[in-house]
Amino acid sequence: MIALAGYDETEDDPRPPRSSEAVYLKLKQAILDNRYPPGAQILESQIASEFEASRTPVRESFVRLQQEGLLEIVPRHGVRISALSPGDMREIYEVLMSLEPTAVELLVARRPDRAELSGLVRACDDMEKALAGPQPDLVAWAMADERFHMSLARLCGNKRLAAMILTVWDQAHRARMFTLSLRPLPLQSTAEHRAVVDAILAGDGERARDLYFAHRKRGGHELTTIIERHGIQRL
């Protein structure tokens, strides 16, 4: 299971705490880990029993997760876990290509030092380490990749922008993990992450933004091409 970056309850988290936070987080993780696969229908009573919670926080969590695009509330029939089509993935990456480069530009404008960017640097180090040696560890790479993107969003200084990025990123989580073993070894992606960090450290906002946009565009094209090539209709 990959821990979701950005869910630690700190003052830097752009998402506000709720009374139903524990149920929300457990249910969200279950969806992202495919314990409840796309298209599955689950009842309010089922979740309340499984999570040992009353129905009120379960109901509140359903509303919140519907707003995030992870499920659909079906009146009198519980909820249906949302599925993603190749078209959905294209839309998600178009949104990320619009939002994340802006976050990078805002971060550079803040002139962060290397200490403030230590999380991004460590993520790059961990990605490179995961791919080194005769047997690359793709799960470890994916965890480091996720930490990189989540950390960058939180560091931009705009909590509303960060919250939007985190929400869209979560929607793509299952597709990224499902296609992980189908993609080429992510050496290019790893090098692109490092180049973005170097541009941020150099204070070159325009270069950092352009590099990040190109990274997202290439990654989105790669992922949707794999989905279409394998005839995957929903994730």
Q: What is 193-213 written as a DSSP string? A: HHHHHHHHHTT-HHHHHHHHH
Class of domain 21-81 as given by CATH: mainly alpha
- Return the structure tokens found at 164: 């939007």
- Is the pLDDT confidence value at 18 over 80? no
Tell me if the domain spanning 86-229 has CATH number 3.40.50.12780: no
Q: For 166-191, write each residue's pLDDT tens digit.
A: 988 887 777 787 788 888 899 999 99
Which residue intervals of the chain bear CATH 1.10.10.10?
21-81
Do 119 and 151 contact (CB within 8 A), yes or no?
Answer: yes
Q: Are 64 and 27 in contact (CB under 8 A)?
A: no
CA atoms within 13 A on the CB side of 61: 26
Provide CATH 1.20.120.530 ranges for the chain: 86-229
* pTM of the predicted protein model: 0.73
Residue 134's Cβ-count burial label (10 Å; 0-12, 13-18, 19+) is exposed
DSSP 210-228: HHHHHHHHHHHHHHHHHHH
Place of tokens 């599925």: 83
**pLDDT for the residue 205:** 95
Which three-class secondary structure state does DSSP give residue 132?
Answer: coil
Q: What is the pLDDT of residues 85-131, one digit of tens each?
A: 778 888 889 999 999 999 999 999 999 999 999 999 999 999 999 99
